């Protein structure tokens, strides 16, 4: 790239970059720092302390948060697992199924939910549950999460699969492997980085979801996001910052894992 | 069972169509057991398609394929006792070399241990034992090629299909592998069906060659027959270098045809079926079967002027301008034997054909 067209030479480039980074990350930093504040105040720093973390685990609201965390993590785990399995099957059919008639529509239908406003999905899902007469609760959250996690799990899996030539499966079948054996011994291991990456993405999306969950959860069943929201409505306390910081840390770990999974090469 | 039982692979009137494009038209081929058989033809002529039909990855639109007398159309690829060395090798990238080679045996029901043992032996055969633990990406192209060969041979197939396995190798390695492949084929007695678009490779290696073009079988025969008795223009032109001269037939008597080329030169040669007086046909004459001389021979000579001499090491190629006629290429081997003299450019000379050197081609 010549120096003239290098984006870094544009007037205000440095300023815009810094502004964007500040807007994006300053709130996160503030929350993280103040979660270690000894004071009850949200704005005045009074020294380092872990008291709000202790409060989360043993304080008056700890039972509620523990239950919410348990719900959140179990739902995320089950939803991500099932969504990944469904997405893997779908990707296999769409990428490897030859040119069947409904291929393009299938691909569209599977990825469309990512582009639909979440509030629309939330309302639609609620109406659906009502019309089939499901009682709202843990199960309705789980079913909704499985559904909206599928496209997120699907995209990295499909991307990975498109990069795998089908001559490998042909070679396997030529060497006496049945279709199922070729899938299990050849295609699946080669797809694994995409599958792990899809699973982690689905897990994060499920863990983080608020809007749909809030619509379809029954009274008394909370996930972490809805519990935090409920708590904040009664007034902001530093223990929320502690929970948020822990969630943030967890997300960073997951995203990092996902990144390395997608980069991982099991062929070297 | 009929006579086709001795044939390893019997392709009968096979047609392959993709939509309204015909990739193979009415191919019939009998490939004998223990034979090194080559499918030769230019890019896009349908060689891979035919191999894939034998391996089971493409269905046969019309006609049938028989393996040792049994129709295999309804057998899926994993039930056919046929293994393939793929054009791009298709080694499993996540498995070690040893696991790759043992894969077929494992799928056939051997235990992991047995498979590994036999795979080890196969790697010895292709001299790659020290690379058993590596992944394919850590091997050179030539080594990958040999792993692919060992992998396909390990389950002892009845027929081995090789799709241009040497095309990615440099010339030297290629020549070495040609000899090694031929050697392995003799050693194992497995029927090889070898695909190439390199006519020299085909001539060197094969017991018999099928020359294909545009989805059609042009000629089937051993190297000598294909080179010396090409059946048509395509084969004559595709295999080796040749002079193709347009001639008109004056007379056909006692199996000899008297022909005339532009410039009013007369040439006589063996007649072939379908040649009639007055027909405009072609003569194919190999450059190495022509001699330059001061003296002509009645009915076997063309007179002209030397245009150019090209030195190519083993041979000297001379381009002649035939009086009133076409250019013709003469190849003289670069030896002192026989007192061959070099005709300098501009000098006059006769081009004499050896007996039987000219071959009439009807189409
Ligand atoms: N799936 C397909 N659909 C349509 N046409 C095809 C298909 N596969 C092959 N063809 C056509 O069939 C013809 C023969 O192809 P094939 O791959 O057998 O050629 P080839 O002789 O192996 O050539 P090369 O030496 O380049 O490998 C080509 O014209 C090709 O375009
Ligand atoms: Mg090919």
Hey, which residues does B84 pair with through a beta bridge?
Answer: B161
pLDDT-flagged residues of chain B (< 70): 1-5, 336-340
Q: Using CB atoms within 10 Å of the CB of residue B161, give its burial: 0 to 12 exposed, 13 to 18 middle, 19+ buried.
A: buried
3-state secondary structure of A169: helix
Candidates B41, B5, B35; CA nearest to B216 is: B41
**Helix (DSSP H) and strand (DSSP E) numbers for chain A:** 12, 0
Q: Return the H-helix or E-strand segment holding A143.
A: helix A138-162
In a shared domain, residues B225 and B253: no
> Is the CB of B178 inside a 6 Å radius of any atom of ligand 1?
no
Average pLDDT, stretch A146-170?
91
Q: Does A266 touch chain B (CB under 8 A)?
A: yes
The domain total for chain B is 2
Residues 6+ apart with CB under 8 A from B85: B145, B148, B149, B152, B160, B161, B162, B163, B165
Residue A114: pLDDT above 90?
no
Write down the pLDDT at residue A72: 94
Using a CB cutoff of 5 Å, list residues around ligand 2, an ion.
Answer: B 48
In a shared domain, residues B123 and B220: yes
- Structural contact between residues B187 and B36, judged by C-beta atoms closer than 8 angstroms: no
Longest dimension (CA), chain A: 71
In sign, the C-alpha dihedral spanning B112, B118, B119, B120 is positive
In a shared domain, residues B164 and B134: yes
In a shared domain, residues B83 and B17: yes
Tokens of A128: 């659906």
Hey, which residues does B159 pair with through a beta bridge?
Answer: B82, B191
Which residue of chain A has the CA closest to B79? Answer: A176
Write down the pLDDT at residue A1: 46
Q: Using CB atoms within 10 Å of the CB of residue B217, give its burial: 0 to 12 exposed, 13 to 18 middle, 19+ buried.
A: buried
Write down the pLDDT at residue A127: 92
Domain boundary among B181, B210, B233: B233
In a shared domain, residues B199 and B114: yes
Task: Return the residue matching tokens 């990144």.
Answer: A259
> In the 3-class helix/strand/coil scheme, how is chain B assigned residue by residue?
CCHHHHEEEEEEEEEEEECCEEEEEEEEEEEECCCEEEEECCCCCCHHHHHHHHHCCCCCCEEEEEECCEECCCCCHHHCCEEEECCCCCCCCCCCHHHHHHHHHHHCCCCHHHHHHHHHHHHHHCCCHHHCCCCHHHCCHHHHHHHHHHHHHCCCCCEEEEECCCCCCCHHHHHHHHHHHHHHHHHHCCEEEEEECCHHHHHHHCCEEEEEECCEEEEEECHHHHHHCCCCHHHHHHCCCCEEEEEEEEEEECCEEEEEECCCEEEEEECCCCCCCCCEEEEEECHHHEEEECCCCCCCEEEEEEEEEEECCCEEEEEEEECCCCEEEEEEECCCHHHCCCCCCCCEEEEEECCCCEEEECC
> What is the spatial order of strands in the sheet that B265-270 belongs to?
B265-270, B256-261, B243-253, B280-285, B358-361
Write down the pLDDT at residue B1: 42
> Is the CB of B43 inside a 6 Å radius of any atom of ligand 1?
yes
| Partner residue facing B78 (CB), from A167, A177, A267 | A177
Using alpha carbons only, how large is chain A's radius of gyration in Å? 23
Residues 6+ apart with CB under 8 A from A201: A152, A153, A155, A156, A258
Using alpha carbons only, how large is chain B's radius of gyration in Å? 25
Q: How does residue A174 score in pLDDT terms, banded at 50, 70 and 90? A: very high
Contacting A with CB below 8 Å, chain B residues are 55-57, 76-79, 82-84, 86, 88, 90-94, 103-104, 107-108, 135-138, 151-152, 155
Residue A268: pLDDT above 80?
no
Long-range contacts formed by B174-177: CB under 8 A, 24+ apart:
B174/B201, B177/B142, B177/B145, B177/B146
Tokens of B114: 């047995």
CATH number of the CATH domain containing B172? 3.40.50.300
Q: Determine, for residues A174 and B94 on separate chains, whether the beta-carbon distance falls below 8 Å.
A: no
Write down the pLDDT at residue B338: 55
Domain boundary among B210, B233, B256: B233
In a shared domain, residues B195 and B275: no
Give the span between the Cα atoms of A233 and A236, in whole angstroms. 7
Q: Is the pTM of this model over 0.95?
A: no
CATH number of the CATH domain containing B314? 2.40.50.140
Shortest-distance atom of ligand 1 to CA B87: 27
Domain range for residue B161? 4-233
Domain boundary among B178, B199, B233: B233
> Is the CB of B49 inside a 6 Å radius of any atom of ligand 1?
yes
In a shared domain, residues B197 and B323: no
In a shared domain, residues B178 and B154: yes
Q: Return the H-helix or E-strand segment holding A247.
A: helix A238-263
Give the span between the Cα atoms of B210 and B14, in whole angstroms. 15
Residue A112: pLDDT above 60?
yes
Q: How does residue A267 score in pLDDT terms, banded at 50, 70 and 90? A: low
Backbone angles phi, psi at A226, to 5 degrees: -70, -35
Average pLDDT, stretch A3-19?
81
Candidates A186, A182, A184, A164; CA nearest to A173 is: A182
Outline where DSSP puts E strands in chain A. Answer: none
Hey, which residues does B281 pair with through a beta bridge?
Answer: B247
Write down the pLDDT at residue A266: 65
Q: How far, in whole angstroms, is CA B231 from its chain's centroid? A: 14
Report percent pLDDT > 90 for chain A: 44
Write down the pLDDT at residue B131: 92
Residue A5: pLDDT above 50?
yes
Average pLDDT, stretch A21-34?
90
Name the closest-CA residue to atom 9, ligand 1. B49
Give the span between the Cα atoms of B238 and B45, in whole angstroms. 13
Write down the pLDDT at residue B126: 86
A262 CA: distance to closest CA in chain B (Å): 15
Name the closest-CA residue to atom 7, ligand 1. B18
In a shared domain, residues B282 and B202: no
In sign, the C-alpha dihedral spanning B116, B119, B125, B129 is negative
In a shared domain, residues B227 and B253: no
> Is the CB of B311 inside a 6 Å radius of any atom of ligand 1?
no
Query: Is the backbone of residue A5 left (phi > 0), alpha (psi -120 to 50) or beta?
Result: alpha
Give the span between the Cα atoms of A74 and B35, in whole angstroms. 63
In a shared domain, residues B228 and B352: no
In a shared domain, residues B46 and B21: yes
Write down the pLDDT at residue A233: 87
Write down the pLDDT at residue B297: 84
Give the span between the Cα atoms of A234 and B46, in whole angstroms. 75
Within 8 A of B58 by CB-CB distance, chain A residues are: none
- Structural contact between residues B91 and B144, judged by C-beta atoms closer than 8 angstroms: yes
Ligand nearest to the CA of B196: 1
Write down the pLDDT at residue A4: 64
């Amino acid at each position: 790239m010549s120096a003239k067209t290098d984006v870094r030479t544009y007037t205000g480039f440095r300023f815009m970059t810094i502004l964007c980074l500040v807007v994006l990350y300053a709130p996160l930093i503030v929350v993280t720092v103040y979660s270690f504040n000894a004071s009850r105040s949200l704005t005045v720093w009074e020294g380092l302390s872990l008291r709000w973390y202790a409060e989360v685990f043993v304080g008056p609201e700890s039972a509620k948060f523990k239950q919410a965390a348990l719900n959140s993590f179990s739902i995320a785990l089950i939803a991500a697992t099932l969504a990944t399995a469904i997405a893997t099957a779908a990707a296999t059919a769409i990428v490897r199924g030859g040119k069947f008639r409904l291929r393009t529509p299938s691909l569209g239908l599977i990825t469309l939910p990512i582009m639909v406003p979440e509030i629309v999905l939330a309302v639609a899902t609620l109406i659906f549950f009502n019309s089939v007469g499901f009682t709202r609760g843990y199960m309705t959250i789980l079913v909704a999460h499985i559904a909206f996690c599928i496209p997120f799990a699907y995209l990295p899996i499909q991307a990975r699969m498109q990069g795998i030539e089908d001559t490998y499966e042909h070679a396997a079948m030529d060497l006496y492997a049945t279709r199922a054996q070729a899938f299990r011994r050849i295609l699946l291991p080669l797809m694994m980085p995409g599958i792990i990456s899809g699973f982690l993405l689905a897990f994060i999306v499920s863990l983080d979801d608020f809007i749909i969950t809030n619509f379809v959860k029954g009274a008394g069943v909370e996930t972490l996001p809805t519990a935090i929201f409920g708590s904040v409505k009664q007034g902001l306390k530093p223990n929320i910052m502690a929970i948020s910081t822990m969630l943030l840390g967890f997300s960073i770990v997951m995203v990092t894992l996902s990144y390395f999974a997608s980069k991982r090469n099991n062929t070297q | 069972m009929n006579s086709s039982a001795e044939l390893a692979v019997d392709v009968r009137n096979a047609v392959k169509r993709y939509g309204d494009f015909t990739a193979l038209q009415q191919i019939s081929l009998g490939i004998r057991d223990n034979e090194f058989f080559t499918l030769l033809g230019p890019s896009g002529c349908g060689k891979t398609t035919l191999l894939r039909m034998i391996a089971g990855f493409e269905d046969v639109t019309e006609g049938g394929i028989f393996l040792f007398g049994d129709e295999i159309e309804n057998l899926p690829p994993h039930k056919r006792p046929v293994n393939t060395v793929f054009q791009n090798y298709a080694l499993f990238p996540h498995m070690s070399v040893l696991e790759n080679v043992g894969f077929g045996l494992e799928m056939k029901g051997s235990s992991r241990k047995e498979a590994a043992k036999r795979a080890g032996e196969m790697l010895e055969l292709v001299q790659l034992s020290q690379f058993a633990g590596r992944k394919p990406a850590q091997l050179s192209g030539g080594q990958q090629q040999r792993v692919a060969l060992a992998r396909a041979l390990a389950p002892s197939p009845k027929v081995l299909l090789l799709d241009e396995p040497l095309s990615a190798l440099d010339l030297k390695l290629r020549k070495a592998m040609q000899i090694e492949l031929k050697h392995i084929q003799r050693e194992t007695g497995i029927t090889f069906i070898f695909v190439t678009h390199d006519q020299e490779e085909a001539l060197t290696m094969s017991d018999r060659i099928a020359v294909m073009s545009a989805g059609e079988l042009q000629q089937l025969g051993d190297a000598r027959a294909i080179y010396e008795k090409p059946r048509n223009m395509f084969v004559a032109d595709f295999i080796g270098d040749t002079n193709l001269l347009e001639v008109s037939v004056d007379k056909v008597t006692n199996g000899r045809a008297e022909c005339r080329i532009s410039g009013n030169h007369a040439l006589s040669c063996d007649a072939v079926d379908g040649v009639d007086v007055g027909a405009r046909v072609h003569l194919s004459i190999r450059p190495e079967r022509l001699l330059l001389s001061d003296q002509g021979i009645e009915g076997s000579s063309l007179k002209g002027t030397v245009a150019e001499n090209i030195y190519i090491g083993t041979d000297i190629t001379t381009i002649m301008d035939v009086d009133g006629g076409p250019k013709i290429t003469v190849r003289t081997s670069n030896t002192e034997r026989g007192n061959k003299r070099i005709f300098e450019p501009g000098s006059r000379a006769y081009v004499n054909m050896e007996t039987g050197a000219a071959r009439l081609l009807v189409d």
